[in-house]
Amino acid sequence: MGQAKTLTDRELKKVLDYVAVHRHAARNRAMLLITCYAGCRVSEVAALRCGDVIAADGTVKTEIQLSPDQTKGGHARTVFVNDRLKKGLTTYVKTLKHRVPDQPLFRTQKRGGFTGNTLCQHFHWLYRHAGIDGASSHSGRRTFITTLASKGVSVRVLASLAGHKSIATTQRYIDVNDDMKRAAVQLI
C-alpha cells in the first residue's frame, strides 16, 4: 500500500465544498480541517473530548493538549490551532447542544464517539464521494506536513508538530512537487 495522497488546494476545496452541502457539514468540515490545518491523525481526532478543545468560557482553545493515551506514540503533545482552524471549530462548537468536557467532541449519527477505525472509514467515504482519487484518512496529515515544508518550515519543527520522534519519519511525509522545485531553483 502506497502513501496517502497529498491534497492540492483545489482538492481540499473540492472535498470541503462536498461536505458543505451534506449532513453534518460543520462536524465533517471541522474534522477535515483538524487533519489538514493541525496535522492530527484520525485516531487523535476521534479521541478528542469537548474539554480538550473548548475552554471554560465556551471559546475554542488556541492549543490542544493531547494526552499520551490520545496519541499514537504514547507521548503527550501540543496541537496548535491556527486562525482558519479556530474559525472552523468555532462554527462546529456552536452546533453542539451539549459540551460536557469528558464527552467526545465528534459524535456519530448514533450519538456515540467515533473510533479511529470508524473515522478512518468515514474519511475514506467523504473523499471518495467528493471525487478525490487516492485520498485516505492520512491525506490531511500529509497535506499539513508537505504544505509547511513547501513554505520553508524546518523538518525539526515539522517533526515536533507531527509528534514524530525521528525527522526521518517526517521526511517520508513530505511530497516534493513541481512548485517546490521551481521555488528552490529561484533561490540561486
* Residue burial 10-49, b: 16+ Cβ < 10 Å; e: rest: ebbebbbebbeeeebbbbbbbbbbbbbbbbbbbbbbbbbb
Whether 151 and 118 map to the same domain: the answer is no
Instruction: Read off the pLDDT of residues 135-162 as tens digits, 9 standing for 90 and up.
Output: 999 999 999 999 999 888 999 999 999 9
Report pLDDT for 27: 97
Instruction: Read off the pLDDT of residues 30-68 as tens digits, 9 standing for 90 and up.
Output: 999 999 999 999 999 999 999 999 999 999 999 999 999
| 185 vs 48: which has the higher pLDDT | 48
User: Rounded mean pLDDT of 121-130?
Assistant: 97
* Within a domain: 19: yes
* Residue burial 159-188, b: 16+ Cβ < 10 Å; e: rest: bebbbbeebeebeebbbeeeeeeeeeeeee
* Distance (Å, whole) CA 41 – CA 53: 16
Whether 147 and 108 map to the same domain: the answer is no
User: Rounded mean pLDDT of 162-186?
Assistant: 85
With 80 as the cut, is the pLDDT of residue 111 above it?
no
CA dihedral 148, 149, 152, 153 (to 10 degrees): 60
**Residue 181 pLDDT grade (very low, low, confident, very high; cuts 50, 70, 90):** confident
* Within a domain: 2: no
* Within a domain: 1: no
Whether 164 and 135 map to the same domain: the answer is no
Whether 133 and 150 map to the same domain: the answer is no
Question: Domain ends where: 140, 161, 178?
Answer: 140
Whether 71 and 135 map to the same domain: the answer is yes
DSSP code per residue over 10-64:
HHHHHHHHHHHTSTTHHHHHHHHHHHHHH---HHHHHH-BHHHHB-TTSPBPSEE
Whether 42 and 101 map to the same domain: the answer is yes
What is residue 136's three-state secondary structure?
coil
Report pLDDT for 98: 86
* Within a domain: 3: no
Whether 136 and 155 map to the same domain: the answer is no
* Within a domain: 154: yes
Beta carbons of 161 and 39 less than 8 angstroms apart: yes
With 80 as the cut, is the pLDDT of residue 4 above it?
yes
* Within a domain: 100: yes
Provide the CATH number for the domain around residue 88.
1.10.443.10
Report pLDDT for 78: 96
Report pLDDT for 1: 53
Domains of the chain: total:
2
Report pLDDT for 178: 83
Whether 168 and 127 map to the same domain: the answer is no
* Distance (Å, whole) CA 54 – CA 68: 19
Q: What is the extent of the structural domain holding 85?
A: 9-140
Whether 84 and 37 map to the same domain: the answer is yes
User: Rounded mean pLDDT of 127-133?
Assistant: 96
Whether 122 and 47 map to the same domain: the answer is yes
Question: Domain ends where: 124, 140, 156?
Answer: 140
